[in-house]
Amino acid sequence: MNSLANSKSKAHSLNQTSDFLLPTLIVDAGESAEKRFVEFFTANIRNVNTRKAYLRSINQFMVWCVDYQLRLEQIEPVNVSAYIELLLQHRSPATVKQHLAALKMLFDYLVVGQVIPFNPASAVRGPKHKVKKGKTPVLFAEDANLLFDSIDTNSVIGLRDKAILSVMTYSFARVGAVTKMKVKDYYTQNTKAWFILHEKGGKEHRVPAHHKATESIEDYLDITGIRTERDKPLFRSSGGRARALTDKPLSTLAVWQMIKRRAKQAGLPEEICCHTFRATGITNYLQNGGTIETAAQIAAHESTRTTQLYNRANEEVNLSEIEKIRF
C-alpha cells in the first residue's frame, strides 16, 4: 500500500461520518494534491469537531468551483470573494468567517506543499462580526441551587449526575473534558483536592477543586467503590434494570440528555445545556468579586475576550429595582 493509500485509510478511520470522499477538484489536480489534502485533515487538524466542520466547508466550496468549471490552479481571490459574498446571502457572518478560515488554512497547506503557487483566499476579507455577549443560557444562584437540590442523591445515578454538574460549574469545565476524566484525575496533594481536565489539543489543565465539588465527588466515590480503579473512567454510563454503572465512560450526548432531564424535573428552562454550567460558574465567580483574568485562567481560555462571552453578571436585575416603576 503506498503512502497516499495509507493516508486515505487513516482519514477514513478519523472521520467515518463523512467517509472522507476526495473532492473532484482535488482528484483532478493529481496525486500530490490528493495526498496533501488528506494530510491536512489527518495530520494538521487534531480536533475532531474542527475537522468535520472544515471538511464540510471546504467540500461545499469545491463543489461550487466545479459547477463554475474552475480547476484548483485556476482559483483566484476574485473567485473566493464571490463565493463569500454568495454565502453571506444565506449564512450568518460567524458561519461565513468559519468557512473562510477553513479555506485559508487549506490553501496555505497546499502552498507549503507546492501544490499551488499562492493562497487565493489570503487577501479576501471576511464579514465584520463582533460578539460581546454569548448566547449560552446561565443559571443565577437561586436557580442553580434549585437544580442541585432537586437531584435525588439516594441513588448512584443521582450522585454521579450531581458530581458531574459540580465539576462543570465549580471548575468552569467543558463537558468534553469532564467525560474524559479518569478516577486518577481527581486527587489530593498537601490536603488540597485537584482536578485534571483534558482540554482541546491534548492539553492537561489542573484546577483546584472547590469544596462543594469535592464533597460531591467524595460522596460519589464512596458509594460506587471505584476509588482504586485509577485508570478507569470517573464518570460512567449505566445499564441494566438496576441501572448499575458500567466500565464505559459517559458520552457527551448522555450528559446533555441528563442535563435536559434534570432541568425539566426542576422546572427550569429547556434551553439549558452543557455549556450553561461553565457560563454559570464564570458569571457567579465574577459577581462575587473574581477577576476576568483569573476566570480565563480557570476556564483555560487563551483570551479574556472568550471568557467575557460567558459573563452575565450584569444581566440579573433585582426585583426591588423593577418595583421602583410606579404609576
Of 61-70, 152-161, 296-305, where does mean pLDDT reach its minimum? 296-305
pLDDT average, residue stretch 169-191: 92
pLDDT at residue 317 tops 70: no
Please give the Cα distance from 255 to 273 (Å, whole number).
Answer: 9
Please give the Cα distance from 157 to 182 (Å, whole number).
Answer: 17
Indicate the length of the chain as a whole number.
Answer: 327
Instruction: Give pLDDT, residue 323.
Output: 54
pLDDT average, residue stretch 291-319: 73
Return the C-alpha cell found at 125. Answer: 476579507
Instruction: Give pLDDT, residue 73.
Output: 93
The amino acid at residue 54 is: Y
Q: Is 196 left (phi over 0), alpha (psi -120 to 50) or beta?
A: beta
pLDDT at residue 327 tops 70: no
User: Which residue is associated with the grid cell 444565506?
Assistant: 90
| Residues 270/264, Cβ–Cβ less than 8 Å | yes
Residue 90: pLDDT band by 50, 70, 90 thresholds? confident
Instruction: Tell which wins on pLDDT, 137 or 158.
Output: 158
Return the C-alpha cell found at 276. Answer: 450553561
Question: Which phi and psi (to 5°) does residue 268 adopt?
Answer: -100, 165
pLDDT in tens, 160-175: 999 999 999 999 999 9
Dihedral angle, C-alpha 287, 292, 293, 294, nearest 10 °: 30
The residue ranges of DSSP E strands in the chain, in sequence order, are 186-189, 192-198, 204-208, 236-239, 244-249
Three-class secondary structure of residue 44 per DSSP? helix
Instruction: Give pLDDT, residue 49.
Output: 76
Of 30-34, 112-116, 198-202, where does mean pLDDT reach its minimum? 198-202
Instruction: Tell which wins on pLDDT, 306 or 108.
Output: 108
Instruction: Classify residue 184 by its DSSP letter.
Output: G
Mean pLDDT score across all residues of the chain: 84
- Give residue 213's Cα distance to chain centre: 22
Of 25-29, 52-56, 117-121, where does mean pLDDT reach its minimum? 52-56
* C-alpha dist (Å) from residue 181 to 43, 101, 231: 25, 31, 9
pLDDT at residue 156 tops 90: yes
pLDDT average, residue stretch 117-142: 76
pLDDT in tens, 228-263: 999 999 999 987 665 788 899 999 999 999 999 999
Please give the Cα distance from 327 to 312 (Å, whole number).
Answer: 30
pLDDT at residue 123 tops 50: yes
**What is the number of alpha carbons within 13 Å of residue 155 lying toward its C-beta?**
11
Instruction: Give pLDDT, residue 43.
Output: 83
Please give the Cα distance from 276 to 122 (Å, whole number).
Answer: 36
